[in-house]
Amino acid sequence: MLKYIKISLLEVLEMPQWLKDAVFYEIYPQTFCDTNGDGIGDIAGIISKLDYVKSLGCNAIWLNPIFDSPFMDAGYDVRNYKLVAERYGTNDDLIELFNKAHEKGIKILLDLVPGHTSDQCEWFIESQKPEKNEFSNRYTWTDSVWEAPPQYKFVCGITNRDGNYLVNFFSSQPALNYGFAEITHPNWQLPPSHPDCQATVEAMKDVMRFWLDKGADGFRVDMADSLVKNEDGEKPETCKVWRNIRKMLDEEYPEAAIISEWSRPHTSIGAGFHSDFYLDHDNNGYRYLFREKDKETGECKAVFSKNGKGDITKFLDDYLDELKAIKGKGYISFITCNHDTPRMTKMFSPLEAKLAYSFVFLMPGVPFLYYGDEIGMKFMEGLQSKEGGFSRTGTRTPMQWDDSANHGFSTASADKLYLPVDTSADAPTVSAQEKDEDSILNTIRKVIKLRHENEDLQSDGDFEVVYAESGKYPFIFKRGKFVIAVNPTDKEQKAPCKFDGEQVFAIGKACVE
Ligand code: NOJ
């Protein structure tokens, strides 16, 4: 049966216009490029690689947190929102990065962590004091150390204040207080409308203004759905907070973008985000495309596996509903990977990864390339956890630039590096892949170039399913005048479709009759 679904995204309004053709590069600053030989990446290193980022076709960068922090969670535990961590440079260096990037037509998104701070943040130090002060309610505290309802995650009895504090992620990350949607413990839970909860919102706006005034182009927003507690599903109170923040942006910084870590576009776009990440979650479309495994046998069931055991309809069932819901209001961001998930090369061969990564840049919405994926960097197994990375650590290893010491990442001795570099014989590098026309690097460059040259392939372009059958290949879809046929299997696959026109691009063998 021929399935034919057409969704038009043409009516996207009131967007920062640059998102229409934005292609992002995610940089984990710790391991991108170290210019002062201390074994850890820095802002000067990022500046030195802007031409490289541009050469990929990426015209925007998302920087993982770069702020002062004790780094119990790689910087997602912010101690001072308005200060660049010394190990990366200074506030002036970051401003220089904004300026140099802008000269080259590259936007910079910072990482905003609104749900929690470090337990060393000045606000939290004040909040711990038994005497009432401006910050007493900046975090959520029970009103006695003997109270810790089991449905919440509290840290108990380690301060002089008589109460336990709610955490948002690790124990070192106390939750900022945006209130409770449903109040079950009136003695210590506040409603979101309480002036102290509103003060938290204003404090976050103040942080945003601080960096936007200095030249930042917006924010990737960490755990954007985690603000108001005690609400599931559509989270109306958390959405209210974001609509309030979006209003401020529309009025004061209409070109600034906010992109949410929420992974529920039909909710987050309505809350005011310009785009929402499509992340790897149990039973969602992204999982079916790239990471699905048989729960019992462990066999790969991802659509992009060459074993041909994936089911494209499971992806579409989830994705098309989300796409329809956000029509004209915002975007979905596909990612090649991020700092929290195993690189696709953990499951896929370089050719499978090349196809999967290319697909990311052929979809509507605002795509993200994770540093190192463009050369097929591997997920390094068996590393000791670093800065709260745990199972995520293998995805955060140093960028592999060339064949010099530490693959050109740093001149520090190997034992001083933030994480070890991949020293295996087949470790990919930028310099080697530059020379190979067919490398992942050069293929991705070509796909991104094609996207920039054709509005049909950009964020707002239409997406139409042409042929998608459960358990069958190829998967065929249209983006405007382009027909894209996906066949990651190692066999020839046929579909009952005929198309006129010339082939503009092929990765591997063509598959449409
Ligand atoms: C999501 C971030 O991507 C992750 O790295 C971090 O550990 C948690 N949020 C907590 O901030």
The pLDDT tens digits for 374-406 are: 999 999 999 999 999 999 999 999 999 999 999
CA-closest residue to ligand 1 atom 2? 222
Mutate to test the pocket of ligand 1, among 76, 111, 117 (most ligand atoms within 8 A of CB): 76
Q: How far is the CA of 222 from the centre of ligand 1 (A)?
A: 6
- Per-residue pLDDT band for 11 (boundaries 50, 70, 90) equals very low
What atom in ligand 1 is closest to the CA of residue 338?
Answer: 3
DSSP annotation string for 137-195: TTB-B-SSTT---TTS-EE-S-SSSSS-EEBSSSTT-BBB---BSS-S-TTT---TTSH
Q: Are 6 and 477 in contact (CB under 8 A)?
A: no
Measured CA to CA, the distance from residue 513 to residue 204 in angstroms comes to 55
Nearest-angstrom CA–CA distance, 301 and 314: 11
Q: Report which ligand 1 atom has the smallest distance to the Cα of 170.
A: 10
Distance 19 CA to ligand 1 centre (A): 24
Using an 8 Å Cβ cutoff, are 70 and 81 in contact? no
Residues 6+ apart with CB under 8 A from 141: 127, 161, 163, 164, 165, 166, 188
Q: What is the pLDDT of residue 265?
A: 97
Q: How far is the CA of 75 from the centre of ligand 1 (A)?
A: 9
pLDDT of residue 327: 86
Burial of residue 202 (CB within 10 Å: 0-12, 13-18, 19+) is exposed
Q: Which atom of ligand 1 is nearest to the CA of 73?
A: 7
| Closest C-alpha to ligand 1, atom 4 | 340
Q: Is 6 exposed, middle or buried (0-12, 13-18, 19+ CB in 10 A)?
A: exposed
**Pocket of ligand 1, candidates 26, 67, 169: which has the most ligand atoms within 8 Å of its Cβ, to mutate?**
169
Residue 71 token pair:
């780094």
Q: From the alpha carbon of 77, which atom of ligand 1 is closest?
A: 11
| pLDDT for 511 beyond 90 | no
Q: Mean pLDDT throughout 424-449?
A: 97
The CA-based angle 15-263-305, given to 5 degrees, is: 115
What is the distance in A from the centroid of ligand 1 to the CA of 62? 14
Instruction: With cut-offs at 50, 70 and 90, classify the pLDDT of residue 71.
Output: very high
Q: What is the DSSP letter of 280?
A: -
Nearest-atom index, ligand 1, CA of 76: 11
Distance 453 CA to ligand 1 centre (A): 35
Q: What is the rounded distance in angstroms from the CA atom of residue 39 to the CA atom of residue 413?
A: 8
Written as six digits, the tokens of 63 are 């920087």
| Per-residue model confidence (pLDDT) at position 192 | 98
Interval between CA 233 and ligand 1 midpoint (Å): 21
Report d(CA 314, CA 227) in Å as an integer.
Answer: 31
Pocket test residue of 222, 225, 226, 261 for ligand 1, highest count of atoms within 8 A of CB = 222
Across the chain, mean pLDDT equals 95
**Chain segment 249-270, per-residue pLDDT in tens:** 999 999 999 999 999 999 999 9
Task: Say what the pLDDT of residue 512 is.
Answer: 47
Q: Which residues of 225-261 are buried (b: 16+ CB within 10 A; e: fewer)?
A: bbbbbebeeebebbbbbbeebbebbeeebeebbbbbb
Does the pLDDT at position 203 exceed 80?
yes
C-alpha of 453 from chain center: 25
Residues in the chain: 513
Mean pLDDT of 46-68: 99
Pocket of ligand 1 (CB under 6 A): 73, 76, 113, 169, 222-223, 261, 339-340
Confidence tier at 6 by pLDDT (50, 70, 90): very low
Residue 64 is given by DSSP the state P
pLDDT at residue 133 in the model: 98
- Split at pLDDT 50, 70, 90, the class of 14 is confident
Distance, in Å, from the CA atom of 513 to the CA atom of 510, rounded to the nearest integer, reads: 9
Is the confidence at residue 10, as pLDDT, over 90? no
Residue 232 Cα to ligand 1 middle (Å): 20
List alpha helices for 309-412, DSSP H: 312-326, 350-360
- pLDDT range class, residue 508, cuts 50, 70, 90: confident
How confident is the model over 162-193, as pLDDT tens digits? 999 999 999 999 999 999 999 999 999 999 99
Task: Tell me which residue has its CA closest to atom 11 in ligand 1.
Answer: 76
Nearest to 249 by CA among 235, 264, 259: 259
Instruction: List, for residues 300-313, the tens digit of each pLDDT value.
Output: 999 999 999 999 99
DSSP states of 90-145 as a string? Answer: -HHHHHHHHHHHHHTT-EEEEEE--SB--TTSHHHHHHTSSS--TTTTTB-B-SST
pLDDT at 245 over 90: yes
Band (13; pLDDT cuts 50, 70, 90): very low
The answer to whether 165 touches 174, Cβ cutoff 8 Å, is yes
Q: Assess whether pLDDT exceeds 60 at residue 9.
A: no
Distance 76 CA to ligand 1 centre (A): 6
Distance of CA 304 from the midpoint of ligand 1 (Å): 27
Question: Alpha-carbon distance 297 to 342, whole Å?
Answer: 19
Buried b (16+ CB within 10 A) or exposed e, 266-293: ebbbbbbbbbbbbbbeeebbbbbbbbbe
Q: How far apart are CA 77 and CA 222, in angstroms?
A: 11
Q: What percent of the chain has pLDDT over 90?
A: 93
Q: Probe ligand 1: pick from 62, 64, 73, max atoms within 8 Å of CB?
A: 73
CB 44 within 8 A of CB 36: yes
Residue 5 has pLDDT above 60, yes or no: no
Q: What's the whole-number mean pLDDT along residues 83-92? A: 98
Q: Residue 233: which residues within 8 A CB-CB, separation 6 or more?
A: none
Least confident of 5-14, 103-112, 186-195, 353-362: 5-14
Rounded-to-integer distance, Cα 408 and Cα 410, Å: 6
In the chain, pLDDT over 70 holds for what percent of residues? 96
Taking the CA of residue 392 as reference, the ligand 1 atom at the shortest distance is 5
Protein residue whose Cα sits closest to atom 5 of ligand 1 = 340
Give, for ligand 1, the residue of 221, 223, 337 to mutate: max count of ligand atoms closer than 8 Å to Cβ.
223
pLDDT band per the 50, 70, 90 thresholds, residue 4 = very low
- Give, using CA atoms, the residue closest to atom 6 of ligand 1: 76
End-to-end CA distance of the chain: 16
The DSSP-derived string for 245-272 is: HHHHHHHH-TT-EEEES---HHHHTTTT
* Residue 509, pLDDT score: 63
**Is pLDDT above 80 for 513?**
no
> Rounded to the nearest whole angstrom, what is the distance from the C-alpha of residue 26 to the centroid of ligand 1?
14
